[in-house]
């Protein structure tokens, strides 16, 4: 079985085709991924199908997100003002390093120096910057409390999905991890047994640890509120029991007004988990005496989001509300799972988000990790046209790679052929001559090519290619026309 214990970092990960090949060889992984994505897809289709106004909700969702991005500075300042007025403290971080520095510092200010530890809610933003590593390096013990994140953490693994980060593991694999890490040799393998083990393992930590770290699903500018949607109640535990709560949010997470939640809270759960509503949504504003943490910090992190914003085509990527529907719908993700994308953001959204959040030259193969089938765009609750952004990024990759490589030269040559009828006819004739040594007759006397050289060799891995016809449509048409119809 392949192991992905390495950090998911585009700077050091193998390219997508290489990593995908490894994933394709892991039959258990592929089985787990196929099963999980099929279950969520079917659930999603059912609960989306019962909404007669789904397309209207998507349109409004898209317009809210577009509007937010066009006024992002205004709404962030409004959020800061209102959150601060309610007793929260807002910090700004230009990049992941700065966010980690601020978070580590804040934790150190609040935790007891004898046993520095924090409980954590699943957060893709903190995964993006590998916050846990920074906290651990500062001597702070981190407990992930979402069941899937706990599986990942105890299994020394990496998340492979935005919403269901351990979907690549099955119950036997999870049991082995829990047996080993929780020291429960007699643990059963029923999902209920495993969830109960997690409940017992974490309950004591919820009641003891006095500092929590979270992400945010939405920040509300109008009120300074923060929203977290979740299923298990671990989020509520982290948000309400500790003395100190540190929320790290990308600057893209803001919504203009409270009432905008009525749209997002319809789009997100149905798209993400196929539920009509998440079991729990928490909305809180600053600090409330007698209810929840006494210290509340929000770190607003840029980490290249403003670079995405500056790209007219790419900026729609920021509209993403992290539902993962595109991952479940994607026929490529279905085959490879998430780790092959070399980033905590996998699947179609990862293929456009990672190259834009990281320097593109670290992720040149990701925009090509798609057949452009459009299934992602079809399910996106805020109508991000992922195929169009992929094509836009491919154009950037081509420019970055320059004209002096075999692919670019071949493309240029074909471009020249397509610009001239004479060259096009000549190319068809030449093609027939050039393929001759590769063509073999099959049992019925048809000519087929079973092996192609170089770049085209990928085609003939599992496919034959029919020889070019002796008479092209063009030849036939012209002969027919000259003989009269």
Partner 1 sequence: MAAEPNNSPARTEILRRIRAANGAPAEGTSASRQWNAIERDYRRSATLSHEQILDLLEDRLRDYDAQVVRAAEHEIAPAISRMLQGRGLSRILLPPGIDPAWLPQGFDFVVDPGTSAADLDPFQGVLTASTCAIALTGSIILQNVPGQGRRAASLIPDYHLCIVRVEDVVETVPEAFARLRNTETVPTTFFAGPSATADIEMTRIKGVHGPRFLDIILVG
Partner 2 sequence: MLERLGHTVDFPAGQTCCGQMHWNTGYQAEALPLVPRFVAQFRHAEAVVVPSSSCVAMMRDHYPIMAKEIGDARLIAEVDQLLPRVYEFSEFLTRCLGLTDVGAYYPHRVTYHASCHGLRNLGLADGPLDLLRSVKGINLIEIENMDRCCGFGGTFAVKNADVSSAMLAEKTTAVLNTGAEVCTACDNSCLMGIQGALHRQRTGVRTVHLAEILAGSEEAPR
- Binding region for partner 2 (CB under 8 A): 16-17, 20-21, 24, 331-332, 335-336, 365, 367-375, 377-378, 388, 391, 393-398, 408, 411-412, 414-415, 417-421, 424, 442, 448, 450, 455-466, 473-474, 477-478, 485
174 binds partner 1 (CB under 8 A): yes
Choice between 218 and 345, CB closer to partner 2: 345
Contacts for 119 with CB less than 8 Å, ≥ 6 apart = 143, 145, 202, 205, 206, 209, 211, 212, 213, 237, 238, 242
Choice between 16 and 218, CB closer to partner 2: 16
Place of tokens 């500092």: 211
154 binds partner 1 (CB under 8 A): no
Among positions 13, 26, 44, 60, the unique one binding partner 1 when judged by CB under 8 A: 60
275 binds partner 1 (CB under 8 A): yes
Q: What secondary structure does DSSP assign to 261-297, as a single string?
A: HHHHHHHHHHHHTS-SS-SEEEEEES-BTTBS-SEEE
Kind plus residue range of the DSSP H or E element containing 226: strand 225-230
Task: Say which entry of partner 1, partner 2, none residue 353 contacts (CB below 5 to 8 A, set by partner kind).
Answer: none
What CA–CA distance (Å, rounded) separates 163 from 230? 10
80 binds partner 1 (CB under 8 A): yes
Choice between 20 and 213, CB closer to partner 1: 213
Task: Say which entry of partner 2, partner 1, none residue 84 contacts (CB below 5 to 8 A, set by partner kind).
Answer: partner 1
* Stretch binding partner 1 (CB under 8 A), from 123-131, 270-278, 444-452, 472-480: 270-278
Task: Say which entry of partner 1, partner 2, none residue 434 contacts (CB below 5 to 8 A, set by partner kind).
Answer: none
Task: Say which entry of partner 2, partner 1, none residue 24 contacts (CB below 5 to 8 A, set by partner kind).
Answer: partner 2
Among positions 154, 277, 372, 452, the unique one binding partner 1 when judged by CB under 8 A: 277
56 binds partner 1 (CB under 8 A): yes
- Tally the residues of the chain: 485
Task: Say which entry of partner 1, partner 2, none residue 462 contacts (CB below 5 to 8 A, set by partner kind).
Answer: partner 2
**According to CB under 8 A, which residues from 435 to 474 bind partner 1?**
none
Q: Give whole-number Cα distances, 27 to 156, 197, 335, 346, 428, in Å.
A: 20, 28, 10, 19, 42
* Residue 350 and residue 158 in contact, taking contact as beta carbons nearer than 8 Å: no
What CA–CA distance (Å, rounded) separates 246 from 105? 11
C-alpha count within 13 angstroms, C-beta hemisphere, residue 2 = 20
**According to CB under 8 A, which residues from 84 to 113 bind partner 1?**
84-87, 90-94, 98
Considering the complex, what minimum distance in angstroms separates the CB of residue 400 from partner 2? 10
* Stretch binding partner 1 (CB under 8 A), from 17-25, 269-277, 397-405, 434-442: 269-277
What CA–CA distance (Å, rounded) separates 193 from 88? 39
Choice between 396 and 432, CB closer to partner 2: 396
Contacts for 33 with CB less than 8 Å, ≥ 6 apart = 160, 167, 168, 333, 334, 335, 336, 337
**According to CB under 8 A, which residues from 315 to 354 bind partner 1?**
315
What CA–CA distance (Å, rounded) separates 187 from 179? 6
**According to CB under 8 A, which residues from 202 to 231 bind partner 1?**
202-203, 206-207, 220, 222-225, 231
Kind plus residue range of the DSSP H or E element containing 92: strand 89-93
- Which residues face 211 on adjacent strands? 244
* Stretch binding partner 1 (CB under 8 A), from 5-13, 105-113, 284-292, 387-395: 284-292
């Amino acid at each position: 079985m392949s192991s992905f214990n390495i950090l998911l970092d585009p700077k050091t990960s193998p390219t997508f085709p290489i990593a995908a090949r490894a994933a394709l060889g892991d039959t258990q992984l592929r089985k787990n991924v196929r099963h999980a994505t099929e279950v969520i897809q079917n659930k999603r289709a059912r609960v989306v199908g019962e909404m007669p106004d789904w397309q209207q909700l998507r349109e409004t969702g898209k317009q809210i997100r577009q509007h937010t991005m066009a006024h992002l500075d205004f709404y962030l300042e409004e959020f800061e003002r209102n959150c601060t007025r309610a007793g929260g403290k807002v910090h700004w971080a230009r990049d992941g390093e700065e966010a980690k520095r601020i978070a580590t510092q804040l934790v150190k200010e609040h935790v007891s120096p004898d046993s520095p530890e924090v409980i954590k809610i699943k957060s893709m933003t903190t995964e993006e910057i590998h916050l846990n590593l920074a906290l651990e390096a500062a001597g702070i013990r981190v407990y992930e409390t979402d069941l899937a994140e706990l599986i990942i953490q105890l299994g020394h693994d990496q998340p492979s999905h935005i919403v269901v980060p351990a979907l690549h593991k099955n119950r036997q694999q999870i049991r082995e991890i829990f047996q080993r890490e929780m020291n429960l040799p007699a643990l059963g393998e029923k999902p209920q047994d495993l969830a109960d083990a997690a409940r017992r393992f974490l309950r004591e930590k919820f009641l003891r640890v006095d500092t929590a770290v979270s992400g945010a699903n939405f920040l509300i500018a109008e009120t300074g509120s923060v929203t977290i949607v979740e299923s298990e109640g671990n989020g509520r535990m982290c948000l309400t029991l500790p003395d100190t709560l540190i929320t790290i949010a990308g600057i893209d997470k803001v919504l203009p007004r409270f009432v905008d939640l009525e749209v997002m809270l319809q789009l997100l759960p149905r798209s993400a988990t196929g539920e009509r509503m998440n079991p729990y949504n928490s909305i809180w504003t600053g600090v409330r005496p007698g209810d929840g943490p006494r210290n509340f910090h929000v770190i607003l992190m840029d980490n290249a989001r403003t670079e995405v914003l500056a790209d007219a085509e790419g900026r729609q990527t920021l509209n993403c509300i992290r539902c993962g529907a595109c991952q479940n719908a994607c026929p490529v993700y279905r085959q490879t799972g998430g780790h092959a994308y070399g980033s905590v953001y996998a699947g179609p959204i990862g293929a456009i988000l990672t190259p834009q959040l990281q320097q593109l030259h670290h992720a040149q193969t990701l925009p090509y990790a798609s057949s452009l089938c459009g299934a992602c765009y079809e399910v996106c609750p805020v109508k991000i046209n992922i195929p169009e952004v992929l094509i836009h990024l491919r154009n950037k990759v081509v420019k970055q790679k320059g004209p002096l490589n075999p692919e670019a030269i071949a493309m240029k040559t074909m471009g020249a052929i397509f610009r001239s009828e004479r060259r096009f006819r000549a190319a068809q004739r030449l093609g027939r001559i050039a393929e001759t040594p590769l063509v073999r007759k099959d049992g019925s006397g048809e000519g087929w090519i079973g092996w192609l050289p170089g770049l085209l060799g990928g085609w003939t891995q599992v496919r034959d290619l029919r020889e070019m016809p002796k008479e092209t449509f063009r030849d036939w048409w012209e002969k027919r026309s000259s003989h009269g119809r």
